[in-house]
Chain A
Amino acid sequence: DAMVIQNPRYQVTQFGKPVTLSCSQTLNHNVMYWYQQKSSQAPKLLFHYYDKDFNNEADTPDNFQSRRPNTSFCFLDIRSPGLGDAAMYLCATSRLTGEAFFGQGTRLTVV
């Protein structure tokens, strides 16, 4: 019944060690989003895909990359995590103009 699935739910990584977060969806939505949320603040959009078209927000650091190999999967790669990258990372999907459906999130800890 789950529609947007994020793995893992909790991730601990070392300072500077690359880490990948994954997201899959069963909704067949065109658009997939990655948000960063710190300390119960408002989610901040990092980037999104419309089908295979990648769109980066202007203020997203170069340290963050993404891949979408097919409609169902999307990955967030953090090349060199810093302490400031510790956050909840939320994946979401939508049709072009419909409401967004969010996954449960991955809480990233950087040690």
Chain B
Amino acid sequence: AQSVAQPEDQVNVAEGNPLTVKCTYSVSGNPYLFWYVQYPNRGLQFLLKYITGDNLVKGSYGFEAEFNKSQTSFHLKKPSALVSDSALYFCAVRDGDSGGYNKLIFGAGTRLAVHP
């Protein structure tokens, strides 16, 4: 069965410090991995994706993610956190059994709180 795990319900970080939001996955075949961010009462905003290529993927708003095949992880990172980064973050993987279209399996979400 394909799945995504976000082991932390919440991550707290001080403004200006680096942040990491963890994600591990389990899929059959090559993983298509995504990160989305959700602000209160809003839809999900796409941050970045890994399909193939370099293991370090750069995305929107200064975020990046590192794909690690041996550890089946795709952690989201940012060198210097901003208070405005406080939001709910979802990791997602494309369901390999979805018959070709982009059905996403989402993790449970991690709430990031950046303190001034």
List A residues at the B interface (Cβ < 8 Å). Answer: 4, 6, 31, 40-43, 45, 48, 50, 55, 88, 90, 92, 94-105, 107
Q: How far is the CA of A41 from the CA of B113 in the complex (A)?
A: 17
Counting chain A CB atoms within 10 Å of each CB, the highest count among B49, B102, B108 belongs to B102
CA distance A100 to B47 in the complex (A): 11
- In the complex, per-residue mask of B25-42: 1 if CB is within 8 Å of any chain A CB, else 0: 000000010101010011
Structural contact, B43 and A41, CB atoms closer than 8 A = no
Q: Is the CB of B102 within 8 A of A31?
A: yes
Are A99 and B34 neighbours in the complex by a CB distance under 8 Å? yes
Contact between A45 and B102 (Cβ–Cβ < 8 Å)? no
A96 touches B43 (CB 8 A): no
Report the bound CA distance from A104 to B42 in whole Å: 5
**Residues of B with Cβ closer than 8 Å to A?**
32, 34, 36, 38, 41-46, 49, 88, 90, 94, 100-104, 106-109, 111
Top-6 shortest CB links A-B? A102-B43, A42-B106, A102-B44, A104-B43, A105-B43, A94-B102
Task: Give the CA-CA distance A18 to B108 in the complex, in Å.
Answer: 30
Query: How near does chain A come to B24, taking the closest CB pair, in angstroms?
Result: 15
Given A45, A95, A101, A103, which contacts B103 in the complex, CB threshold below 8 Å? A45
User: With A99-B46, A100-B46, A101-B46 in contact, do A42 and B90 touch (Cβ < 8 Å)?
Assistant: yes
Residues of A within 8 A of B111 (CB): 40
- Contacting pair A40 B88 (CB below 8 A): yes
Is the CB–CB distance between A50 and B101 below 8 Å? yes
Compute how far the CA of A3 lies from the CA of B111 in the bound complex, rounded to whole angstroms. Answer: 26
